[in-house]
Amino acid sequence: MPSWPDVEPNVVPNVEGALGNLEAVAAHVMSPATRLSFPSVVVDGGAGATFWDRTGRRFLDLHSMAGVANVGYGHPRFVEAVVEQVRRLVHCNPAYVLHEAPIRLAQRLAASTPGTFPKRVAFGLSGSDANDGVIKLARAATGRQLIVAFTGAYHGNTYGALSMSSVSAAMRRGFGPVVPGIVHVPFPDAYRSPYRGVDVAESYLAELDAVFDVVAPPEDVAAIVVEPVQGDSGVIVPPQDFMTGLAERARRHGILLVAEEVQTGLGRTGRMYAAEHFGLEPDIMVLGKALGGGIPISAIVARSELMDSWQAPGHVFSTGISPVAATAALAVLDILADDDLVTAAATRGGLLQRGLTEMQDRYAEIGDIRGLGLMLGADLVSDPETRTRNRILAAKVIKGCFDRGCYLTFLAGSVLRFIPPLVITDNEINHALETVEVSLKSALSGKVSDEEVRELTGW
């Protein structure tokens, strides 16, 4: 997939002073709760799978701005569609009037998501508000109160989404009490499972059954909310048997199965939706992030009859689905299809995974490589036997990559996270692999001090 050569960096005169001033101003005027501890860069523009700062320095983006830029930066058809819509009409309140683009988008999402049953769509602004909506919808539709979520889950930062999340203590510290009625059960992590040498899927399903027996009687459970691949807890792919068993238990007990695909959807895992890897037909799906290509939008896609259980203004936002956001999402869907980016994610994800696996053979510090498509994690350890997380090494590697022009992040204390734009090329993947290995070698040889990465705590 090409970068777009007609887009060039805007180099700012006297940039060192300008950059320094901007970072200092940001520290004074922006809330620290909104900034994570990764290498800082003032972004000026982007094209394809790269972005650049105000000096014109380019970075290969292995992060997709947290999984948002699936179709890359500055795709001509995306830009053209959005600009044309901005010229015609930016906003009309979807609670009061209709616009063609949201209706067409709802049709497309209902048709593309798993399951041949009739579906309807509720739009919002972010994955967080969509997950809040899931709690409301599931309770209204079933008359039940409890929601089962998973340890290690990340669903967002509004109160309902926060209450279902359990990936970071800092997300909740000082914010309690959270929304009641959320029950967390363990999510299967084969690499760090306490159930080594036994059937991992059955062991974790037994834990769910124990929760049903003691904590959350299934007749009181409205929904099970699951990420088909847990992203922020370290790119954890569950066993097929676990997901099959989860769906079977939901059906047996009349519990709604919710696939939370804010990060995994829209081609990221080499399928349009990650639920397809497991043969799931969820009652409800949650979409966000990449759906708008950077324009804020979310969607709850649910069985049509479930949507009859709530009425306006049960999930109304004045800017919940603007013509611009809907047009952007339609352009994203067109680009994914016309440029065959879902296949590209599977193919180039295979190339990236093979390269990382070969690297793992050369370095004992790479404990595990896992993921699907272009959603991969490399888990760094200080001891391959104990599988002890190596945060310092992970921080040194991402700093080395940053210094060499690759933007990479780490999460769960030790996992290098690879979620590049789906337009990334083979050459760019090979360059990324070379950069990661050079950075790893440099870190292991002691060329980066602990002090240099002291503040890079990751996500």
- For tokens 């700012």, what's the residue? 12
Long-range contacts of 11-19 (CB under 8 A, 24+ apart): 11/54, 11/55, 11/56, 12/44, 12/54, 12/55, 15/54, 15/55, 18/54, 19/53, 19/54, 19/55
For residues 149, 235, 367 and 441, what is the CA-based torsion angle, rounded to 10 degrees? -140
pLDDT of 7 reads 66
Q: What are phi and psi of 194, to 5 degrees?
A: -75, -10
Do 284 and 138 meet the contact criterion of CB atoms below 8 Å apart? yes
Helices (H) and strands (E) in the chain, counts: 14, 16
pLDDT of 3 reads 54
pLDDT of 324 reads 98
pLDDT of 2 reads 52
Round to whole Å and give the CA distance between 90 and 92.
7
H helical segments located in 69-158: 76-88, 100-112, 127-142
Cα angle vertex 270, ends 306, 291, to 5°?
50
pLDDT in tens, 111-129: 999 999 999 999 999 999 9
Q: Where does the pLDDT of residue 37 fall: very low under 50, low under 70, confident under 90, or very high at 90 and above?
A: low
pLDDT of 320 reads 86
pLDDT of 453 reads 83
Round to whole Å and give the CA distance between 72 and 321.
22
Mean pLDDT of 172-198: 91
pLDDT of 408 reads 96
Name residue 261's amino acid: E
pLDDT of 169 reads 83
